[in-house]
């Protein structure tokens, strides 16, 4: 019998940290797993001990190792949604990329599905896009970039295992990027950086690396290096030392050509650095600049450490142009190798590991009317452990009820299809008739609750009036649904003769979204009357103490949908005054 040892790499968590190998045997009966305990000398240095009939990875472990679940974050207009489109293009999930600014008779961006998103050219709500790539299952969460919708982004980051931060090469770190990065830091998410828009005049790449380190406190490790910028942007040089050295390959320069409307995969020329063929494409000046930059980077000791990446001390940086497709596939290929697999989640019963056999998950988003053909409400659930199966019964920890789940969905923006199973890292949709809320836990077996998802403090308030009282039922239904989704909080004035709702939101654009969705999805036109209040607090204490509060003097009394007393304050001065003068009353943030 002839024994042939075949070493096969198996995805196992973090590619920078560990490799696993499957050993196969070939004899007269063909290939099979090795049987019998034995040691085999390989290459005079590696000794492999074989144990009888041991499967290195269970089916659940294999599925976990294949998952990559990440969110994309950025400041508005940094090109986040465009990068999302191009990742789908190179992942072959779509065949032709759209554009947020496309004309009406052209394709619109797949991840921007809401009518208002298409009209304004911005992302308003988070969307989920799942597609296979290189034996992995990618769960991509496209988040809003505008600060007015940062609460939706925060909830989405709760369901991610890592984040891709998109920077505008001409602007560097911007305000919203810093805010979203802080959320990633709080949640312990590794961050990968894509410096976008290199096809336009850009800041010096070294200055961008320095800015990341100074403003975000992470060491920026350049994994590739741009050749020029603006109209002179030719491509990038791949300087990923871990992959290059493991394969004994020289550094490779990737040169790109534009395609019609940048809608298809760009033709690429890959040439070894220093080759004569490369000098036929680059000028002497470009070659000297590239070689000088690479020598400088090598001298500075830039090297990626997997542990430091996972702990947020380093971020791998990739340069490119999502619009022109330059550098996108290099980034995607590296990301699926380096990104972490599903992580454990904290609960009131300790950390829940993804390889826990029993299913568990939590709801991080609720959305109604995603598709005009499905006028229903769908909740988005992150699978945290075990195997989810269609038609299974689970325990709803918040209500104490057992619920059957006959029609789970998987998503691709507003499109969905029924699925039979899902694994940790996957995002699934469940039809809802109002029994679920954001943060709810669904679990099989022993009951526990995942750590709640906090709400943001509202900063803007306005009275919303229904223009057609004949549509009051639709008005109330729409408000209830939008509040369940977390689009806003609804308060009611206890002292007013007419009970018009007061909307409380984090950002002003949320008012526009609520009104647009009420009219578009429920046929209800409304009028908005802004209020001057800036802070809200739940007020708790003895009834006589609550009655003594200076209502009407910089302080307004309202109640929420659970009939809890809420105090609205005109200014920070009014809030500080009441806190000092009425210590017997407790004021809690209503967020």
What single string gives the DSSP state of each residue in 498-550?
S--EEEEESSTHHHHHHHHHHHHHH---EEEEE----EEEEEES-HHHHHTS-
Per-residue tokens: 165: 């931060």
User: Which residues contact residue 9 at a Cβ distance below 8 angstroms, ignoring those fewer than 6 apart?
Assistant: 19, 20, 21
CA 95 to chain centre: 23
What whole-number distance in Å separates Cα of residue 591 and Cα of residue 588? 9
Residues 100, 112: contact at Cβ < 8 Å? yes
* Same-domain check for residues 315 and 373: no
Report d(CA 222, CA 242) in Å as an integer: 13
- Examine the domain organization and report whether 431 and 465 are in the same domain: no
pLDDT at 23: 39
Tokens of 222: 């350049």
Q: Which of 362, 363, 365 is nearest to 345 (CA)?
A: 362
Buried b (16+ CB within 10 A) or exposed e, 333-347: bbbbbbbbbbbebeb
The structure tokens listed for 4 are 């042939």
**Rounded to whole angstroms, how far apart are CA atoms 333 and 517?**
38
277's enclosing H/E stretch is helix 276-279
**Domain presence at residue 206:** yes
- Whether residue 505 lies inside any domain: the answer is yes
Decide: 315 and 321 in contact? Cβ < 8 Å. no
CATH of the domain at 332: 3.40.50.300
Range of the domain at 438: 345-443
453 domain-assigned: no
What is d(CA 17, CA 536) in angstroms, rounded to the nearest whole number?
A: 47
- Helix, strand and coil in the chain, % to nearest 5: 25, 35, 40
Which residue, chain included where needed, has tokens 């450490």?
305
Same domain, 416 and 553: no
425 and 556 belong to one structural domain: no
Rg (CA), the chain: 27
- Alpha-carbon distance of 587 to 539, in angstroms, equals 5
Question: Is 144 inside a domain boundary?
Answer: yes
Query: For tokens 């022993």, what's the residue?
Result: 446
Question: Which tokens go with 240?
Answer: 């990923």
Residue 331 maps to a domain: yes
Question: CATH code at 353?
Answer: 2.40.30.10
Same domain? For 203 and 260 the reply is yes
pLDDT tens digits in sequence order for the chain, 591 residues long = 444 433 333 333 443 333 333 333 333 344 433 333 333 333 333 333 333 333 345 699 999 999 999 999 998 889 988 999 899 988 888 766 554 333 333 444 545 545 655 565 555 556 788 999 999 999 999 887 666 677 788 889 999 999 999 999 999 999 889 988 988 998 899 999 999 999 999 999 999 999 999 999 999 999 999 999 999 999 999 987 555 445 556 799 999 888 877 777 778 899 999 899 999 999 999 999 999 999 999 999 889 999 999 999 999 999 999 999 999 999 999 999 999 999 999 999 999 999 999 999 999 998 877 655 656 788 999 999 999 999 999 999 999 999 999 999 887 766 778 999 999 999 999 998 888 999 999 999 889 999 998 877 888 999 999 999 999 999 999 999 899 888 899 999 977 666 899 999 988 989 999 999 999 889 999 999 999 999 999 999 999 999 999 998 889 999 988 889 999 999 999 999 999 999 999 999 854
Domains held by the chain: number: 4
Domain match, 427 and 532 both: no
Domain boundary residue among 313, 338, 363?
338
Quick check: 448 and 348 in contact, CB under 8 A?
Answer: yes
Distance separating alpha carbons of residues 34 and 359, to the nearest angstrom: 33
From 275, 306, 338, the end of a domain falls on 338
The three-state DSSP-derived secondary structure of 571-583 is CHHHHHHHHHHCC
Write down which residue in 410, 443, 476 finishes a domain: 443
Closest CA to 343 of 329, 333, 353, 334: 353
**Is the domain of 213 the same as that of 302?**
yes
CATH code where residue 573 lies: 3.30.70.3280
Q: Say what the pLDDT of residue 289 is.
A: 96
Beta bridge partners of 73: 165
- For the whole model, what pTM was predicted? 0.78
Q: Is residue 233 part of a domain?
A: yes
The answer to whether residues 102 and 210 belong to one domain is: yes
Q: Is residue 576 part of a domain?
A: yes
Do 173 and 127 belong together in one domain?
yes
Distance CA 157, CA 348 (A): 20
* Residue 362 within any structural domain of the chain: yes
508 and 564 together in one domain: yes
Is the domain of 209 the same as that of 258? Answer: yes
Q: What pLDDT was estimated at residue 49?
A: 32
Q: Check whether residue 253 and residue 133 sit in a common domain.
A: yes
What is the rounded CA–CA span in Å between residue 424 and residue 343? 9
């Amino acid at each position: 019998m002839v024994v042939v040892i075949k070493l096969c790499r198996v995805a196992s968590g973090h590619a920078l940290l560990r490799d696993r190998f499957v050993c196969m045997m070939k004899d007269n009966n063909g290939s099979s797993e090795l049987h019998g305990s034995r040691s085999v000398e390989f290459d005079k240095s590696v000794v492999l001990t074989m144990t009888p009939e041991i499967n290195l990875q269970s089916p659940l472990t294999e599925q976990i190792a294949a998952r990559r679940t990440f969110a994309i974050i950025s400041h508005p207009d940094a090109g986040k949604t465009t990068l999302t489109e191009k990742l789908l293009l190179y992942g072959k999930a779509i065949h032709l990329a759209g554009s947020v600014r496309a004309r009406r008779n052209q394709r619109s961006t797949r991840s921007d599905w809401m009518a208002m998103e298409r009209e304004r050219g911005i992302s308003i709500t988070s969307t989920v896009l799942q597609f296979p790539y290189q034996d992995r299952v990618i769960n991509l969460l496209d988040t809003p970039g505008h600060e007015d919708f940062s609460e939706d982004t925060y909830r989405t980051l709760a369901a991610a295992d890592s984040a891709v931060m998109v920077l505008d090469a001409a602007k560097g770190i911007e305000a919203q990027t810093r805010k979203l990065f802080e959320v990633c830091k709080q949640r312990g998410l590794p961050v990968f950086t894509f410096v976008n828009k290199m096809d336009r005049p850009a800041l010096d790449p070294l200055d961008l690396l320095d800015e990341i380190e100074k403003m975000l406190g992470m060491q920026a490790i350049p994994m590739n290096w741009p050749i020029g910028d603006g109209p002179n942007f030719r491509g990038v040089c791949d300087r990923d030392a871990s992959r290059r050295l493991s394969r004994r390959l020289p550094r490779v320069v990737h040169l790109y050509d534009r395609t019609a409307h940048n809608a298809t995969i760009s033709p690429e020329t890959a040439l070894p650095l220093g080759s004569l063929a490369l000098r036929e494409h680059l000028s002497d000046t470009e070659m000297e600049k590239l070689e000088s930059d690479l020598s400088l980077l090598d001298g500075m000791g830039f090297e990626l450490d997997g542990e430091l990446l996972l702990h947020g001390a380093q971020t791998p940086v990739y340069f490119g142009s999502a619009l022109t497709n330059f550098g996108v596939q290099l980034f995607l290929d590296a990301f699926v190798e380096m990104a972490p697999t599903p992580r454990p989640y904290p609960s009131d019963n300790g950390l829940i590991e993804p390889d826990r056999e029993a299913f568990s998950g939590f709801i991080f988003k609720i959305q109604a009317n995603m598709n005009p053909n499905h006028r229903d409400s769908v909740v988005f659930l992150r699978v945290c452990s075990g195997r989810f199966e269609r038609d299974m019964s689970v325990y709803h920890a918040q209500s104490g009820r057992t619920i059957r789940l006959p029609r789970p969905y998987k998503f691709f923006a507003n499109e969905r299809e029924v699925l039979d199973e899902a694994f940790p890292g996957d995002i699934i949709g469940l039809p809802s008739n109002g029994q679920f809320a954001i943060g709810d836990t669904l679990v099989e077996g022993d009951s526990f609750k995942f750590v709640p998802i906090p709400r943001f403090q509202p900063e803007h308030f306005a009275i919303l009036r229904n223009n057609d009282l004949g549509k009051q039922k639709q008005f109330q239904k729409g408000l209830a649904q939008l509040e369940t989704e977390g689009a806003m909080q609804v308060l009611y004035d206890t002292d007013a003769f007419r009970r018009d709702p007061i909307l409380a939101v984090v950002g002003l654009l949320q008012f526009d979204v609520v009104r647009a969705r009420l009219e578009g999805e429920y046929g209800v036109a409304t009028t908005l009357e802004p209020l001057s209040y800036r802070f809200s607090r739940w007020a708790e204490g003895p009834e006589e103490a609550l009655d003594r509060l200076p209502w009407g003097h910089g302080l307004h009394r309202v109640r929420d949908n659970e009939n809890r007393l809420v105090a609205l304050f005109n200014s920070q001065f009014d809030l500080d005054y009441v806190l000092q003068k009425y210590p017997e009353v407790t004021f809690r943030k209503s967020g």
